[in-house]
Structure 1
Amino acid sequence: MTPLAAAAVVTATFLGMEFVAWFMHRFVLHGPLWFLHRSHHVRHPHRFERNDFFFLFYGSLSMLFIIYGSDDKDWRFWVGSGIAAYGTLYFFVHDVLIHGRLRFWRKSRNSYLRALNMAHKMHHKTTQRDGSEEFGLLWVSPHYFALARRKPAPERKRSRLTESAN
């Protein structure tokens, strides 16, 4: 496979994963697999939640594509790479930025990331299976972009090192 074709497969898979994630979230996680996903919509004292099993599913799927396509670097390898790239971005945006599961990236001044955060908070407004909105990760309704542009960006706290330098 040519490098251009490989890049096209990775890009198409990455973009397609947004649709897959939206569809699965809307109709499967808020449907028959709500018993697992519910843990993500309610407050709990645990570090992990049942919803984390979905990372294992998509991670395993990606790994299988990469393993079975790695000898020839055929389309399977590049599809697995696209799924892995989406999963990596999902982890950093959803788990780190939005839910703060790791404390190194808490707020952003970027209006797109702030719109994502607002949309996701709206999704979590309900703790029930029905009544949620905004099921995707990367695509955000224009309404939230307008809100992110109007609402002031969070102030950055100055560190002691910055203050002592002044």
Structure 2
Amino acid sequence: CGDAVVWKPSEKTPLTALACEAIFNRAVKRFGADAPEGLLQVLIGDRAVGEVLVDHPKVPLVSATGSTRMGREVGPRLAKRFARAVLELGGNNAGIVCPSADLDMALRAIAFGAMGTAGQRCTTLRRLFVHESVYDALLPRLKKAYESVSVGNPLETSALVGPLIDKAAFDNMQKAL
């Protein structure tokens, strides 16, 4: 059935983590007796909880998503005890629109990539490279998409952008503007 997982999600998203845990537990029941209890354990907590996992000698692999600062702190600690690491750090994702691009598809991908989840995920589109041959056709459509983006309650299917997660996210957005 694979290796057991101990997951310490962001302290900002505990309910999402618990919902994922419930989905996992429901799915794993399909394996019956072949799947032992407790394959997934969710640890809700702050940075200190994560540090215990990073330093624990019985945790052979740590996968972490976060800032490059976090990676600079975690990486050497894992290396010191020869633990394996999968670190996804400081996302700065780009989109490329080539001359042969389907501009309708590109527009949808750009809009969701840049604005979906209010730009708060590590894979948010932050840079866009557009070939000069399609630039003039794409730019007005892109402006229109940004002007018409639906902001609102994320439980409503019509809303593409919901609220920022906390004041720190709001402050960072204000600095970016």
- TM category, shorter: under 0.3
Tell me: higher relative CO, structure 1 or 2? Use CA pairs within 8 A at least 6 residues apart.
1
Normalised to the residue count of structure 1, the TM-score between the two structures is 0.25
Which has the greater radius of gyration? Answer: 2
